Structure 1
């Protein structure tokens, strides 16, 4: 029975990941700060550590051995190096939850010009082994870290790839949607506005982007923990959507009509859709499909998700 350590795991699709691992018969240890209650009961072990506090993770896992570690909350190269050193060779493999934002050309502030990226990027277009990282940047400043999320993830990938003494999988995850516990508020943004008759702003001729269903992401991470897949893998529904597709799903779910206003200068508008892109920006999923991971097309789940989200809001 594999022993899997999940760093994070108390909110959003992290909870689904822990549940999936348990359902598949794995023994699970959760490492977090202990500030957010969970519903796992006594079926999981809990270790306490703030992964951003130097030395805490190493102290918490000293002497522990795991078949895999899934790091859900690694946002900087400093945290990646800490994790690699904390576990050393006492983990069969590392799975890092990364982000589609690593491909975002607008966030390459330490490498200008940005490397060329396809509109729907493939994994080989960003090689973490060749990407520079700097642990001395102000990663402990939460405001700075938030403003440099994409760069933090790129550098975390690079640092873990170089420092880990075990195989590494980098799950580059698209915009994740779920009917419940979506702390990002990206989907509820549309449900709220359309139900209230408020406009949704979009860029002029908005591009398409990649979405991922929370259950699919949890399933991929759980599988990656016990399979031999390594390197970067794009995790997303195979079809791409634009803001009109999202609004149409909410329209079908609520019976309300969406008002979408395209603006040439939409950046910074408080009503700008989180899923509106000035040009196509997403990921190709061919690599995942090549070893058997076929994610659910967004066209088959967007409306169902909108109905669940609308029903949840009506019950509040």
Structure 2
């Protein structure tokens, strides 16, 4: 009996602003989206914990070459911190490791927020994907070990208190790459002397992708049943969506052809940049790739095969 022929994967390029549902891992969400699009390549621009919801940027096709820029972009979160206990995972998933009857009032909370704004030192949660001697911290923690989590600098652009009750506080956080909101909840709770953990977390922005661009898995599934791929592909944003902070450089078609063959192109003229760590290279309306300028010469570092 002949086995059914596998449907060939499609070359689909662009970014999807997925509204990740509660209880699903980022890897599971990525797999579901890739299956719905039948895409040949897929990756995501920054992990969300299973108990978190909101914006999970998913790159399809050639957009996977820009994932690092998405991960480096500023992020906005809304978080509810529950007072009274600290947990093994610093969220609802873990078991309590310390408790306190103390509860902070709004004034007390507001008074300590400047300590957590700007560049601060932060130790990641023990249950995180940080590698320690080649092992994931969460694997060590699950095995009963106590991984030593080294503090590192992170940047909190804004930390705003939206609401405070006796048992919880709601915050909005604007931050940079590598910030752990669970660590922030833990450290605020310790500073207030009441302990705390994340009770709810939602991400609303990653770089150039925002909350009003998000789409749910349910909606994508509906669209996948429509004829053709037009509806699904209409949910995608261009590759350059996450490259807002990178200068664009236009080249002539003959120079674009040389760049695509791996050759350098000398930039001439009074306004030609002498050096630039990253530029988005275009030829007319076509994207060529991400390049680097050194000593007046342009070379492609990541070529888009569109």
Q: TM-score band (shorter)?
A: under 0.3
Q: Normalising by structure 1, what TM-score?
A: 0.23
Q: Normalising by structure 2, what TM-score?
A: 0.24
More helix by share: 1
Point out the structure with max Rg over C-alpha: 2
More strand by share: 2
